[in-house]
Structure 1
Amino acid sequence: MQGKEQLEKARERVIDAISQNMNLYGVTPSVGRLWGLMYFQDEPMTLDDMKLELGMSKTSMSTSVRSLVELKMVDKVWKKGMRKDLYEVEEDWYQTFIDFFTIKWRSGVNMNVSAIEKSLKELHALLDAHDVNEEIKETARHDIDKLNNALQYYQWLNRLVDSFESHEIFTFVPK
């Protein structure tokens, strides 16, 4: 069929770019390739469909799809008469970006804030201790100041994430 090779080449170029780009954000290239493949499908796909297209094991496909579902980049859909699970991509790139990054950002913020809060308690305990020399206490005060500044940053980052989730960001940066 004339043009089919050019069509496949054009799609493959985009799929490769998506795969490489997603890899920058901690998503494996194979998961990125799967999302790219699914993006160009006009119908939902089964794990068997994906396996045939990418030549990967069904277990690998299942793990990859689960990752994409958790990132809200792929939805499980229902089709009358179909017994196998079907999946399709979220085609709204704005929403995909928001879901992907807010999940990653919230996770990072929570992990770092938890570590900072635990360290702040320990540092404050050092300040209250009677058997700790003044040089250590001064270093602890300095670290407390740094960690409080970091907490302010994470509060700001949470507000930024909130603005993405509420779509308020589009007031400042229109689509």
Structure 2
Amino acid sequence: MKCLNDIETLERSRTMVIDAIAQNIDLYGLTPSAGRLYGLLFYSNKPLTLDEMKEELGMSKTSMSVSVRSLLDLNMVEKVWVKGERKDLYSIKEDWYECFFDFFTIKWRIAITMNNSAMEKSIAKLQQLIDDPQTSDKIREQALIDIKKLEERLEYYDWQNRLIDSFETKEILNFIPIEKKKD
């Protein structure tokens, strides 16, 4: 009887963590299903196939494939090769710090690049308005204000790029080490 209670306690503690991951995985732009899948792989003592994950979670194979692909794209999961195994196997990447660095740099670099491009194109168009002698003073004045706002934002994105560079090079760890400082 004690053994059965211990197993239930173990399963409840795991379910509590998996549920929390599923609820918070949206921070990574993923669905709760992907979070449950990640939790399953976290607690698995061996790499799993799509069929094993599907059976354990009761998800459709399509949903399972999409979740695995999303986790792979963010470098949170990796494909594992096992001699003699024909099916693809997956496991989580054990280095959570590296996963965070990868996620942060991948997502933020894309957003910054997109925003920079749009703002630089906007500045060029606004500059054309300013340079056009037929542009009214009111429009020219607003275009100058907009350019100033955009240039300030570009400075911010330059700072963000440097921050991301420090994640990629791990220089950030010189300021915020992984190990806690001992009191």
Identify whether the pair has TM-score above 0.5, normalized to the shorter chain. Answer: yes
2:115 aligned residue: 112
Percent identity, aligned pairs only?
Answer: 58
The reply on whether 1:124 has 2:146 as its aligned counterpart is no
Q: Which amino acid is 1:139 matched to?
A: Q
Structure 2 unaligned residues grouped into runs of 5+ = 179-183
> Alignment partner of 2:79: what SS?
strand
Shift of 1:61: 0.7
Root-mean-square deviation (CA, aligned residues, Å) is 1.0
Shift of 1:169: 0.7
> Alignment partner of 1:79: what SS?
coil
Moved more, 137-146 or 25-34: 25-34
Structure 1 unaligned residues grouped into runs of 5+ = none
1:29 aligned residue: 32
Shift of 1:137: 0.5
The alignment of Structure 1 onto Structure 2 pairs a total of residues equal to: 175
TM-score normalized with structure 2 length? 0.93
The reply on whether 1:48 has 2:51 as its aligned counterpart is yes
Residues 143-162 of structure 1 aligned to structure 2 (within 5 Å): 143-162=146-165
Superposed CA deviations along residues 101-136 of structure 1, whole A, max 9, x for unmatched, are 111111111111111111111111111112110111
Q: Which amino acid is 1:49 matched to?
A: E
> Alignment partner of 2:91: what SS?
strand
TM-score normalized with structure 1 length? 0.97
The reply on whether 1:98 has 2:101 as its aligned counterpart is yes
1:134 aligned residue: 137
> Alignment partner of 1:91: what SS?
coil
Q: Which amino acid is 2:168 matched to?
A: E
Runs of 4+ in 1 over 3 A off after TM superposition: none
